[in-house]
């Protein structure tokens, strides 16, 4: 996938496979089945599948407003 940037908190659960969380600076963080990735708002990133190990992802996106309301 192409690099993206969101204005919400993104939580990614890898239910199967292996891959990488890649930052524009070239940093590649390995991720595997069972990992939970937390990507802060405004962080440019992309997710890549590993060689011969496609990932199955569940993604939860949480808008800042949700945190504000929950804090009341």
33-50 pLDDT tens trace: 999 999 999 999 999 999
First to last CA, the chain: 37
Compute the distance between CA of residue 1 and CA of residue 48 in angstroms, rounded to an integer.
7
Q: How far is Cα 34 from Cα 42, in angstroms, rounded to an integer? A: 25
pLDDT recorded at residue 25: 84
Query: Is residue 1 within 8 Å of 59, Cβ to Cβ?
Result: no
- What CA–CA distance (Å, rounded) separates 28 from 46? 10
Given a cut of 90, is residue 1 above it in pLDDT?
A: no
Specify the pTM.
Answer: 0.84
**48-58 pLDDT, tens digit each:** 999 888 899 99
């Amino acid at each position: 996938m192409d690099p993206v940037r969101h204005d919400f908190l993104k939580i990614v659960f890898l239910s199967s496979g292996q891959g990488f969380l890649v930052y524009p600076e070239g940093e590649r963080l390995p991720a595997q089945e069972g990992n939970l990735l937390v990507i802060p708002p405004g962080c440019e990133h992309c997710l890549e599948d590993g060689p011969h190990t496609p990932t199955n992802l569940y993604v939860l996106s949480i808008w800042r407003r949700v945190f504000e309301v929950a804090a009341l």
